[in-house]
Structure 1
Amino acid sequence: MPNAMLFSGFRLRDLQLKNRIVASPMWQYAANKGYPTDWHLMHLGRFADGGCGLVFQEGTSVERRGCGTTGDLGLWDDCFVEPLARIVALIKANGAAAGIQLLHCGRKARTRAPTQGRGYLARTPDIEDWDEWEPISASAVALKEGMPAPRAMTPGDIRAVVDAYAAAASRARRAGYDVIELHAAHGYLLHQFLSPATNRRGDAYGGSLANRMRLVIEIVDAVRANWDDAKPLFVRVSCVDGAGWSVDDTVVLSRQLSLHGVDVIDCSSGGLVGSPLPSHAAPDYGYQVQYAEHVKAHTGMPTAAVGLIVHARQAEAILAAGQADLILLGRELIHNPNWAIDTALKLGVDGAAANWPPHIRYWLERRASATPGFMPSTFAP
């Protein structure tokens, strides 16, 4: 397959991606008071070194009260720009574009990490700004039965959040990121405004679909005004959430986002009140690709597919069928950070080694040329 679409490259505004393989934002719960650590350098750097065309940093909070856990990354202050710029430099030095996902957790703030059992944190004296770290949301709808409800946001809160996204976009630009993605999925604040299950407001931000989309659109406008016109903007959406938000709603939202400067819809699902899958159904390979295909077909927008995409020919078939324009991988890259290198070889891509960083290219080409019939470990029957 000398002309594999996975390695055909993709242009978004002035950004040319070398391939269509994207490291999805993956929460690490490893930050120290919002600051990245050496773990983040290693975690993100290996995906760039492994051949991905675009590497997304995990969801990074635009407000202190928007953090989900004590280990969340932050971009609510200028002090975060320099350490994040170090991550950007490493990603780019290894041949990938650098992306950042901006988010606000809303009612999912002040929670325990998955490895700690999830659920709300108990108050502890070592968190000095506990009272400022307040769960807020579109409406006072509890995350789960028996848990305290978040505070419904005032008009002042809404303005503050819009301003926080604008400021974070400006800082992301200064840190050198190539792409911003806004997280409007998985039950976080923007999703909480979109879904009728969590948005029960009676003002201009609640009720009708147009009103529930208002905050997302205002934030997109604010981010675009503080971003670079030459750089792309993604939005991640739960195309269905199993709680009242449908794929048809996603199409309406996507068309509006396109008019406001969004370049790609990152198509996921669920996260608000559990799984959007039918009862007792387990996810299958590529189970969310249908949403990327539907949005692309009904809007003409570029889409990104995500969700149990693990095999080289599976990913190539998605692109070849026109179901999506970009392939996002998460846990499969944790399993194999060199997935892009493997895939180029498995698909027989002409000049596959050109995608590899020079130090990798030298040693792998030397091994292959010196060993007739050599087969890497991941190719074994």
Structure 2
Amino acid sequence: MSNNTALFSPITINGVTLKNRIVMSPMCMYSCLEQDGKVTSFHKTHYISRAVGQVGLICLEATAVSTEGRISEEDLGIWNDEHVTGLKELVHGIHEAGSKAAIQLAHAGRKAMVKEDIIAPTAEPHKEGMKVPVAMSEEQIKKTINDFKEGARRAKEAGFDIIELHGAHGYLINEFLSPLINTRQDQYGGNMENRYRFLKEIITSVKEVWDGPLFVRISASDYHEQGNNADTYVSVAQWMKEQGVDLVDCSSGGVIQVKLQQKINVFPGYQVAFADKIRNEAHIATGAVGMITSGLQAEEIIQNNRADLVFIGRELLRDPYWPRTAAKELNATIESPQQYNRAW
């Protein structure tokens, strides 16, 4: 057994050192219906158990910066100072188990399924049968930017090590970025630079209260010939780097309903090429996501400099101790929780 692996090598990003390259990908748990966005006992069990399992970075699910920005009324929230206590307890538990903690700040835009009026760049619904959003005024844009800033302030107060902005999967930031959705005629619409303005101003605002590592999750392809693609995001990633973004988390899709997009060829690691291209052409750290299920697969991604981190989703739902499984596959030794030494 050895430790000579890339997957289990540490990495330092803007002063925060992760003990390995494994990230728990943000995944909605829809567990707050009776809690008004507050952390529940389920969240503590769910996230801390993966930290016990030796995941280097635990990234919480999409956490809403406003009530109308929830994907559903069961979402975790950070729109109120009352949310901080539970989040702080959760971060403490993750740290106690030896992992770093991240939170994904999110706004669902026109994909929100809540009682409140919902907002988007334009007044078109995501698909037939969904609520029609209000086209955002500049005043609403400024308020939403401030909601992200306040979310970042609360995240800092709760003790998170890293913040990720959710700019993917057809939610609000992604809606502004995509020409398929954003047909505004003002300074927030039109060319790519204008469509980037909303995210640009969120980053600027967040960095007024946050000086730690900042990640942004993107949809690197809209899967439509008239939409954004990886080439688009090489340029966007360069802009983000200039603003001080530390890592681009490269997912894809979600901005338009499935019947309008090209058929996605899904296979193990099908999105890794996005992380590879953006990392090596924009010269910014990236995270690879999507059907990464084995240690060998993850090791290859890091060894070949295709990404700096691997974001593991469903496989960590199936196996909370996936890092141990991956280490055995790679013939590597990794630290065990002291309480589990006799069996690790």
> Which of 209, 213, 222 is equivalent to 2:192?
209
Q: Deviations over 1:181-215 (max 9, x none)?
A: 00000000000000011111000000011000000
Residue correspondence of structure 1 range 246-285 to structure 2 within 5 A = 246-274=229-257, 282-285=265-268
Give the C-alpha shift of residue 249 in structure 1.
Answer: 1.3
Give the C-alpha shift of residue 134 in structure 1.
Answer: 1.4
Change (3 A) 1:276 1:5: farther
CA distance in 2, matches of 1:29, 1:279: 29
Q: Deviations over 1:51-91 (max 9, x none)?
A: 10000010100111111111011111111101110110111
- In structure 2, what is the equivalent of residue 122 of structure 1? none
- In structure 2, what is the equivalent of residue 16 of structure 1? 17
Instruction: List alignment gaps of at least 5 residues for structure 1.
Output: 112-129, 366-381
- In structure 1, what is the equivalent of residue 284 of structure 2? 301
CA distance in 2, matches of 1:2, 1:40: 31
Q: TM-score w.r.t. structure 2 length? A: 0.95
- In structure 1, what is the equivalent of residue 4 of structure 2? 3
> Which of 147, 164, 173 is equivalent to 2:147?
164
Q: Deviations over 1:101-146 (max 9, x none)?
A: 00001111125xxxxxxxxxxxxxxxxxx3xx21110011211035
CA distance in 2, matches of 1:9, 1:147: 44
> Which of 84, 105, 108 is equivalent to 2:111?
108
Question: Is 2:55 aligned against 1:76?
Answer: no
- In structure 1, what is the equivalent of residue 218 of structure 2? 237
Q: Deviations over 1:198-253 (max 9, x none)?
A: 111000000011000000010011111111x2x20000000001241111111111
Give the C-alpha shift of residue 274 in structure 1.
Answer: 3.9
CA distance in 2, matches of 1:276, 1:14: 44
CA distance in 1, matches of 2:167, 2:264: 25
Q: Deviations over 1:331-377 (max 9, x none)?
A: 0000111010121222122xx242x22112x2225xxxxxxxxxxxx
Change (3 A) 1:147 1:74: closer
Q: Is the 8 A contact 1:263 1:302 kept in 2?
A: yes
Give the C-alpha shift of residue 94 in structure 1.
Answer: 0.5
Q: Is the 8 A contact 2:222 2:261 kept in 1?
A: no
CA distance in 2, matches of 1:200, 1:278: 18
- In structure 2, what is the equivalent of residue 358 of structure 1? 338
CA distance in 2, matches of 1:291, 1:337: 27
Change (3 A) 1:41 1:156: same
Q: Find the residue that maps to 2:311 and give its secondary structure.
A: strand
| Deviates further, 65-74 or 210-219 | 65-74
- Letter of the 2:338 counterpart: P
Q: Which structure has the greater CA radius of gyration?
A: 1
| Deviates further, 239-248 or 52-61 | 239-248
- In structure 1, what is the equivalent of residue 30 of structure 2? 29
Change (3 A) 1:139 1:159: same
CA distance in 1, matches of 2:264, 2:78: 38
Give the C-alpha shift of residue 282 in structure 1.
Answer: 4.5
Q: Find the residue that maps to 1:363 and give its secondary structure.
A: coil
CA distance in 2, matches of 1:281, 1:246: 13
- In structure 2, what is the equivalent of residue 371 of structure 1? none
Q: Find the residue that maps to 1:68 and give its secondary structure.
A: coil
Instruction: List alignment gaps of at least 5 residues for structure 2.
Output: none
Q: Is the 8 A contact 1:47 1:55 kept in 2?
A: yes
| Deviates further, 144-153 or 15-24 | 144-153
Give the C-alpha shift of residue 148 in structure 1.
Answer: 3.9
Q: Is the 8 A contact 1:110 1:134 kept in 2?
A: no
Q: Percent identity?
A: 40
Q: Is the 8 A contact 1:238 1:268 kept in 2?
A: yes
Q: Is the 8 A contact 1:268 1:288 kept in 2?
A: yes
CA distance in 1, matches of 2:171, 2:264: 24
Question: Is 2:297 aligned against 1:318?
Answer: no
CA distance in 2, matches of 1:281, 1:24: 21
Q: Is the 8 A contact 2:223 2:261 kept in 1?
A: no
- Letter of the 2:144 counterpart: V
CA distance in 1, matches of 2:234, 2:286: 12
Count of paired positions: 339
Q: TM-score w.r.t. structure 1 length? A: 0.86
